[in-house]
Structure 1
Amino acid sequence: MKKTAIIPLRKNSKGIPGKNKKKMLGRPLFSWVLTEAVFSELDEVYVFTDDEEIIAYIKKEYFWTPKIKTLLRNDENASDTASTESAMIEFATTVNYDFDLLCLLQATSPQTTALDINNALKEVIGNKKTSALTVVNTHRFIWNEDGTPQNYDVFNRPRRQDFQGLLIENGAVYCTTKEAFISSKNRVSGTIGLVKMAEESLVEIDSLSDWDIVEKLLADRQKKKKIHQRIEYLILDVDGVFTDGCVYYDQNGEMAKKFDMRDGMGLEILRQNKVEVIVLTSENSELVAQRMKKLQLNQTFLGVKDKFSFLTHFLSERNSSFGAVAYVGDDVNDLANICSVGWSFTPADAVDIVKANADYVLTHASGAGAIRETCEILLKYNKRYEGI
């Protein structure tokens, strides 16, 4: 059975301009559900958009997986008045209905996980439903406009633990068989299975205040998933970590960056103690490439914008996890990893939002001993796992 997902994205958004590309915890909003889809049981994931900038970004950032594909949608189905169903029909026609099961994923639900997607697939495939959707069990008391209660007796107000509540659609995941979609032209139809998601996933991103709430919820979720174990990998950003964040230019372009020699010795000692050092930077700098070669850091990845997605792939390839990682970053594009790894560090002069989310704010500044300090902390930390 071929399981295909579509993530429809529009270039223009009235509520929050450029919403799909706006950084949520340092990553474009759409990348949260896209990454989860890659590591789900889906066979292929199409980003269906009228934004060619997004298409170019995806082709560059997700080169490591053949699972992600892009398609350009027409302007008519990307307008404010177009329905999601019209986009789904256009997509299905474009791919000649080459799927057995179609899954609609919404970028505005960044709390969606691979497990949520798999549970929706299971409802259709395993439980023989025609379609499925995600819901939230809310224990709110609902009222009608005429002043009458909708879901409880005001004279017998139930306790929360005794109240069944209501199941509310959260707009995250929808699945349908091809036959049902051809017949109904709708995202769900026939016998519909329900998949429960966490209550906080009910928050929809319609305003900047919603954005702030969801971003905080995402950060908290990632931190709660942290596990502590022996550190096997140290992941390092470059500008603002290895360097002081300054770049010197002449008329020919990038001319110089300043590195602290003591950091190199710290990394050498760390590698001798069986901690692999990986460099992960969004910049594509020949100077950085030369310096990392000098330090014999062969695992250097340049020009990576979506660091969280790349790191997820990197660890999956090595059958490892975020708990085995220490990470040092200084700016917003490091936030998702800062919130997710076993131990996260940030230099003393990092931006405030990173310092607020890191596990450890170093006493040394970027390019002035921050890496060396991290190495010494990790060497002491890993000693507790000796002999285990």
Structure 2
Amino acid sequence: MKQIGFIPLRKGSKGIPNKNKRKMVGRPLFTWVLGEAIFSNLDEVVVYTDDEAVIEFIAKEYHWTNKVTAKLRSKESASDTASTEFAMLEYCESISYNFESFCLLQATSPFTRRDDINTCLEKLQDNYDSAITVVNTHRFLWGKDGKPLNYDPQKRPRRQDFDGLLIENGAVYTTTKESLESTKNRLGSKVAVVEMPEESLQEIDSETDWTIVEQLLIERQKRDKRSDKITHFVLDVDGVFTDGTITYTKDGEHTKKFDMRDGMGLEILRQFDIKVMIMTSENSALVAKRMEKLKIEHVFLGVKDKFTLLNEIVLNEGITLSNVAYIGDDVNDLTNICSVGWSLIPNNATDIVKSNADVVLSKNSGAGAIREACQFIMNYNKRF
């Protein structure tokens, strides 16, 4: 049974410019739901966009999976007046409804998790033709006429005695092929509801909303952290191995400076069966050469969505994030720093990662920070 995920994206955003591509906790906003969709029970995930930069990004970033494709949508379906259903039906007709289940995912709902997607898909096997995600709110609602909508003010209930109301949060919608073809709508006649946490009700329409959602995501990732024996050490490069500076000639990148002591620390870790991996957003021949010299086999260059790739590594290695130590220095490392078992950062890292890391090292990048991190890992693992 083919299950398709569908993420519609548009270039334009009136409230927050370039909202879908803007970095939320260090990664493009739309990659929060895309990453979860990749690891869900969906068979295919389609990003439907009028932004050719997004199409190029997806082709480069997710080459390690055959599950994700990006399709160019028509100008008509990406206009300000076009509905989401218009885009859905345009795509479905282009593939002759070649699926059994269709899952609409909203790029602006970063709290969506793979379990939410899977639960909505499962509902379609339970005699429902569609499912939506909701939030149970215990707010008391009023109409403009000054009349209460969902309670009696004379018998004001306590929160624990109030069932509340289920409110659509706009995150996940699933429907069967038959229902979508007949109703031309994301919802059919028999709808299941799937509850998500209250924080997922927060919309992102202003800069204030953005700040609130970003902080909620950071706190969620840190709340989910667990620390077990460290089996894998993942490192950024620029601002970690190096002091963050490079020299250029007219022919391009020229030199980077590395600390020999860092290499010794990593060699010692490998002697204790700790797997060392490199994950950097830069695609540098100099970095590749240096890692070859250090005999580091697992080197990932040009990675922009580091958290999704880290999840793929964890899955393939048969470990959890709790077994990972990570060292980075800037905002593009932030989600990993908030999520792994132990996060360490050089003393001269940016303030945003300093305020969220587990350990701020005494040494600067390119001046012994990695060597110090290796010693921390060795000391920590002694308890196991």
Distance 1:288 1:54 in 2: 26
Task: Kindly provide the amino acid, as one letter, of the partner of residue 15 in structure 2.
Answer: G
Distance 2:156 2:55 in 1: 52
Give runs of aligned pairs for residues 55-70 of structure 1, distance below 5 A. Answer: 55-70=55-70
Distance 1:340 1:95 in 2: 38
Paired position in structure 2 for 1:27: 27
Distance 1:320 1:270 in 2: 18
Paired position in structure 2 for 1:373: 372
Q: Number of aligned pairs?
A: 384
Give runs of aligned pairs for residues 285-304 of structure 1, distance below 5 A. Answer: 285-304=284-303
Matched, 1:383 2:382: yes
SS state at 1:246 partner: coil
- Relative to the length of structure 1, the TM-score reads 0.98
Give runs of aligned pairs for residues 231-380 of structure 1, distance below 5 A. Answer: 231-380=230-379
SS state at 1:6 partner: strand
Distance 1:206 1:235 in 2: 35
Paired position in structure 2 for 1:212: 211
SS state at 1:104 partner: strand
Paired position in structure 1 for 2:73: 73
Paired position in structure 2 for 1:52: 52
Unmatched segments (≥5 aa) in structure 1:
none
Q: What is the CA deviation profile of residues 129-159 of structure 1, one whole-angstrom value per residue up to 9, with x for unaligned ones?
A: 0100000000001011111111111111111
Distance 2:307 2:261 in 1: 28
Task: Kindly provide the amino acid, as one letter, of the partner of residue 318 in structure 2.
Answer: N
Deviation at 1:289, TM superposition (A): 1.1
Distance 1:251 1:204 in 2: 46
Paired position in structure 2 for 1:198: 197
Paired position in structure 1 for 2:38: 38
Task: Kindly provide the amino acid, as one letter, of the partner of residue 333 in structure 2.
Answer: D
Paired position in structure 2 for 1:17: 17
Distance 2:154 2:356 in 1: 46
Distance 1:11 1:232 in 2: 41
Deviation at 1:250, TM superposition (A): 1.5
Paired position in structure 2 for 1:105: 105
SS state at 2:140 partner: coil
Deviation at 1:124, TM superposition (A): 1.1
Task: Kindly provide the amino acid, as one letter, of the partner of residue 118 in structure 1.
Answer: N
- Relative to the length of structure 2, the TM-score reads 0.99
Distance 1:326 1:217 in 2: 23
Task: Kindly provide the amino acid, as one letter, of the partner of residue 330 in structure 1.
Answer: D
Paired position in structure 1 for 2:90: 90
SS state at 1:19 partner: coil
Matched, 1:131 2:137: no
SS state at 1:240 partner: coil
Distance 2:259 2:357 in 1: 22
Distance 1:95 1:27 in 2: 31
Task: Kindly provide the amino acid, as one letter, of the partner of residue 294 in structure 1.
Answer: K
Distance 2:4 2:285 in 1: 39
Distance 2:135 2:256 in 1: 51
Deviation at 1:323, TM superposition (A): 0.6
Runs of 4+ in 1 over 4 A off after TM superposition: none
Deviation at 1:253, TM superposition (A): 1.4
Deviation at 1:210, TM superposition (A): 0.7
SS state at 1:5 partner: strand
Unmatched segments (≥5 aa) in structure 2:
none
Distance 2:209 2:338 in 1: 20
SS state at 1:174 partner: strand
Deviation at 1:279, TM superposition (A): 0.7
Paired position in structure 2 for 1:168: 167
SS state at 1:377 partner: helix
Distance 2:361 2:127 in 1: 54
SS state at 1:284 partner: coil
Identity of aligned residues (%): 60
Task: Kindly provide the amino acid, as one letter, of the partner of residue 136 in structure 2.
Answer: N
Deviation at 1:355, TM superposition (A): 0.6
SS state at 1:309 partner: helix
CA RMSD of aligned residues (A): 0.8
Distance 2:5 2:294 in 1: 43
Deviation at 1:201, TM superposition (A): 0.3
Distance 2:128 2:262 in 1: 58
Distance 2:351 2:234 in 1: 20
Deviation at 1:290, TM superposition (A): 1.1
Task: Kindly provide the amino acid, as one letter, of the partner of residue 120 in structure 2.
Answer: A
